[in-house]
Structure 1
Amino acid sequence: MAIKIEKKITGYNVVKPEDKVAAPTVTAAAPKEVRHAEVKQAEVIQMHESVERPETLIGSTFKVKSPLFEHALYVTINDIVLNAGTKYEQRRPFEVFINSKNMDHFQWIVALTRILSAVFRKGGDVTFIVEELKAVFDPRGGYFKAGGVYMPSIVAEIGAVIEQHMKNIGLIHDPEMDEATRRLIAEKRAAYEAAGAKKNSDATATSVGAASAATASNHTESSGFPPGATLCAKCNTQALVLMDGCQTCLNCGYSKCG
């Protein structure tokens, strides 16, 4: 059957019989709510490298003070908001900037921020970056942050900053600690501190002992955990103490005895 074309042809495509069977299209006779749902689904925007940068981004700046650097680092992470105003709205990291008065490491800092920004813009699951950065060790040795958290390198601390930012925007969620574990940690900590207080009260009040107690008190105030606590391999916090013949972490509840 011949069909007369009365309008100008602006484009064409070849449709094979098997294509019609494999992928039927929604016809005009289909219910209105079905066609409306498909249109809404097509409007959802996922993060990918072709998403253009808007004129304005929202973000956060973190101050990183390390004994390895004379001056502090300021890490700024800017986010893009996708599908704003809809139930599909999500906030994703888009770019990273690091600024400091210290210019000794300018080259690798610029390279790191450009690579991180490129990975963010690729889309997909970008949370793997955190573990990759936190696994970088400085051959000169690491350092302890306030609170007794061990940082193996300045790169690892940048990873910790990105992790905290991802937690703030809901991209990473901390595993919930059950009430029984919280109660156990509180009991272990109270028992350890009580035993330490009794030991100190029974000790002879000498000048050396007084100086040692003052040092221990300062350590406790700075780390938030009892003096003599060692590094926990699970949470990297100086909160591992020996109780009842078993190493127990007063921060995350990890125990070598299970």
Structure 2
Amino acid sequence: MTIRIDKKIKGYSVVTADDKAKESAQPPAADAAAGAPVSNVIQMHERIERPEVLVGSTYKIKSPLVEHAMYVTINDIVLNAGTEHEQRRPFEIFINSKSMEHFQWIVALTRIMSAVFRKGGDVTFLVEEMKAVFDPRGGYFKAGGVYMPSLVAELGCIVEDHLKSIGLLHDPELSPEQRALIAEKRRLFEQHSKKNADAGVTDASSTASHPDDIAVTGEGASFPPSASMCHKCSTKALVLLDGCATCLNCGYSKCG
């Protein structure tokens, strides 16, 4: 076979059988080095087998709708343990109670939720779906003055809190300006209540006659016991301040 040489020959060497063997072995190695690195990060999927030991948290639900308390246990699987990609993902959920009234739907719900957890992907949608369930008999207020439209909705709040604790959900941070506004609203309300108490005024529109009458909720925040529910944060913290409905929890004001 004739090969046309277009460049000036500056030197030459004899190719031996050993050289040919080395060249045939080099290209795969070079291609592997040049290619994209293979990722060993494990993502949650339904084919992952349940480990012998799982990390779990148990939450208590004490609702006036049921006689006995419910205990919700959510177990997590730890993926990529000991690496920079380590993460906890919910793997299964159990609900235990002495009350047998809701046994059937509790078993069904836990099995479906566990299946969704093991499927992988974004499981945070469960929170909004469950919190949107309303009881036709009416909801109730849990400790802290937070309104719960149903027992399923409170279960959704527990799942939300758990997902926040393992880093799958994050609370929207209040800006310093919003925090300052809420603190100012609370200060003005307490001053207004103290003036009414000192003057001996009994005003039906005032939700507390004295700052000492402000109730301390189960979550550490203090709101007047007769405050109404804020439709924005679903907390009984809405008071009448200077003729305007104002929330002492989230800063919402009907007057803007």
TM-score (norm 2): 0.80
Q: 1:133 aligns with which of 130, 133, 146?
A: 130
Contact 2:91 2:117 in 1 (8 A): yes
Contact 1:193 1:226 in 2 (8 A): no
Contact 2:228 2:238 in 1 (8 A): yes
Amino acid at match of 1:38: P
Give matches, 1:30-41, under 5 Å. 30=31, 32=33, 38-39=37-38, 41=39
Contact 2:76 2:91 in 1 (8 A): yes
Q: Distance in 1 between matches of 2:108 and 2:32?
A: 53
- CA deviation string 1:174-227 (max 9, x = no partner): 01101111011001011111111221222279xxxxxx969x93x623472024
> Where do 5+ consecutive residues of structure 1 fail to align?
1-25, 206-211
Q: Which residue of 1 aligns with 2:236?
A: 238
Contact 1:59 1:77 in 2 (8 A): yes
Q: Secondary structure at the match of 2:223?
A: coil
Q: Distance in 1 between matches of 2:44 and 2:67?
A: 37
Q: Which residue of 2 aligns with 1:93?
A: 90
Q: Secondary structure at the match of 1:131?
A: helix
Contact 2:58 2:73 in 1 (8 A): yes
Q: Which residue of 1 aligns with 2:29?
A: 28
| Larger gyration radius, structure 1 or structure 2 | 2
Higher helix share: 1
Q: Which residue of 2 aligns with 1:74?
A: 71
Q: Distance in 1 between matches of 2:178 and 2:28?
A: 58
Contact 2:227 2:238 in 1 (8 A): yes
Contact 2:193 2:209 in 1 (8 A): no
Q: Secondary structure at the match of 1:38?
A: coil
TM-score (norm 1): 0.79
Q: Distance in 1 between matches of 2:241 and 2:196?
A: 14
Q: Distance in 2 between matches of 1:164 and 1:107?
A: 25
- CA deviation string 1:75-104 (max 9, x = no partner): 000001111111111100010000001111
Does 1:146 pair with 2:143?
yes
Q: Distance in 1 between matches of 2:30 and 2:161?
A: 51
Q: Distance in 2 between matches of 1:199 and 1:161?
A: 40
Q: Distance in 1 between matches of 2:217 and 2:31?
A: 68
- CA deviation string 1:109-136 (max 9, x = no partner): 0001001001111111110101111111
Q: Distance in 2 between matches of 1:61 and 1:67?
A: 20
- CA deviation string 1:16-68 (max 9, x = no partner): xxxxxxxxxx9411474x56x613x1x11111111111111001000111111
Does 1:51 pair with 2:52?
no
Q: How many residues align?
A: 221
Q: Which residue of 1 aligns with 2:18?
A: none
Task: Return closer, same or farther for 1:229/1:107 CA change in 2, 3 Å cut-off.
Answer: same
Q: Distance in 1 between matches of 2:102 and 2:237?
A: 32
Tell me which moved more, 156-165 or 232-241. 232-241
Q: 1:63 aligns with which of 36, 60, 63?
A: 60
Q: 1:249 aligns with which of 214, 226, 247?
A: 247
Q: Distance in 2 between matches of 1:177 and 1:202?
A: 36
Q: Distance in 1 between matches of 2:243 and 2:48?
A: 57
Q: Secondary structure at the match of 2:113?
A: helix
Instruction: Give the % identical residues.
Output: 67
Q: 2:215 aligns with which of 214, 220, 231?
A: 220
RMSD: 2.2
Q: Which residue of 1 aligns with 2:13?
A: none
Q: Secondary structure at the match of 2:215?
A: helix
Does 1:84 pair with 2:81?
yes
Contact 2:194 2:209 in 1 (8 A): no
> Where do 5+ consecutive residues of structure 2 fail to align?
1-26, 203-207
